[in-house]
Amino acid sequence: MTTPRFISMEGIARRYPAPGGGRTTIFEDLWLPVQRGEFVCVIGHSGCGKTTVLNILAGLDSPSEGTVIVDGQAISGPSLDRAVIFQGHALLPWRSVLGNVTFAVRSRWPDKPREWVEAQARRFIALVGLAGAERKRPAELSGGMKQRVGIARALSIEPKILLMDEPFSALDALTRGTLQDEVRRICLDTGQTTFMITHDVDEAMYLADRIVLMTNGPGACIAEIVENPLPRERDRTDLHRHPHYYTLRNHLLDFLVTRSRTFRDSPPPGYDRRHPPVVRPGAAPQPVPVPETGDTLPLAQFANRRHP
């Protein structure tokens, strides 16, 4: 039995009017299933349409063609079921940390008593390590602390899906690492379905269960879905010792450096946008079936076999 798809992107395209007439296709015919509890990262070069895809998932933009189904329902606008963490924190500057988070909690549960709303907000503020800073206003916080408020606010409404658009790219390396650790721990502990955009290969390798590779635009497509061969319980300090670490990293870098440019015009034989190939770098080749009768195997059975 297969698990029902929690998110299903079905043939979506986004086109804009082009200067001088006609239309520019940013991406088209994107098909992507996401399972409940999965952490998916999308990587691709700047301008290929990643933010547009995320905005469509958030309900802030609509596809020119195709639909996105979430938990059995087509998306038709923003919903508190889908929380977004933006790169630029988007906090209300006149509200305190607590005020920013309670604002979200109250929008989600308008009928709950004030004490409940505040307790829910405080719980998530503590979860991101900001206990004690509840009364501070955004202007008094560092970039990392502001982003923590953004994370607490998004998680406090217990969304079905967490959407993140390069949330750590403006932070220094140390803060970025700490926040990645925290988000990873929270998402694993709560089974949070997460869709995140990044252009950072190491970030995708550390966080994602699957990494979606988007080609360059215009007319971008999903080239491949890469299954992360690193164990789900992973520790950033010894990731590089995993036997498949460099195979995975080289595969992703090779895509960004070369294949993201060349893929669209020369896709591999049999490539089908509706079923982008799923690859698992470093995986052992499938065992070759041995015929019971002693017959010779037809050569075609070996033709598409991948080797590491």
Ligand X SMILES: Nc1ncnc2c1ncn2[C@@H]1O[C@H](COP(=O)(O)OP(=O)(O)O)[C@@H](O)[C@H]1O
Query: Which of 28, 49, 51, 154 contacts Mg ion by CB under 5 A?
Result: 51
Q: Which residues contact residue 235 at a Cβ distance below 8 angstroms, ignoring those fewer than 6 apart? A: none
Residue number, 49 or 229, with CB nearest to ligand X: 49
- Interface segment toward ligand X; rule CB under 6 A; list 45-53, 82-90, 113-121, 146-154: 45-53
Site for ligand X in 47-66 (CB under 6 A): 47-52
Q: Which window, 14-22, 51-59, 121-129, 213-221, contacts Mg ion (CB under 5 A)?
A: 51-59
Q: Binding of ligand X at residue 19 (CB under 6 A)?
A: no
Q: What is the CB neighbour count within 10 angstroms for residue 290?
A: 7
Q: Which does 48 bind (CB under 5 to 8 A by kind): Mg ion, ligand X, none?
A: ligand X
3-state SS, residue 13: strand
Is the CB of 46 or the CB of 237 nearer to ligand X?
A: 46
Contact 13, 64 (CB under 8 A): yes
CB of 294 to ligand X, least distance (A): 54
Which one of ligand X, Mg ion, none interacts with residue 52, CB within 5 to 8 A by kind? Answer: ligand X
**Sign for the pseudo-dihedral over CA of 106, 109, 113, 117:** negative
Helix 97-108 to helix 114-127 angle, to the nearest 10 degrees? 120
User: What's the closest the beta carbon of residue 220 comes to ligand X, in angstroms?
Assistant: 8
Degrees to nearest 5, angle at CA 206 with 247 and 124: 170
Q: Which is nearer to Mg ion, 68 or 117 (CB)?
A: 68
Query: Rounded CA gap, 76 and 57, in Å?
Result: 10
Largest CA distance in the chain: 78
* Cis peptide bond upstream of 218, omega within 30: yes
Near ligand X by CB under 6 A, which window of 44-52, 72-80, 89-97, 167-175? 44-52
The residues binding ligand X (CB under 6 A) are 16, 26, 44, 46-52
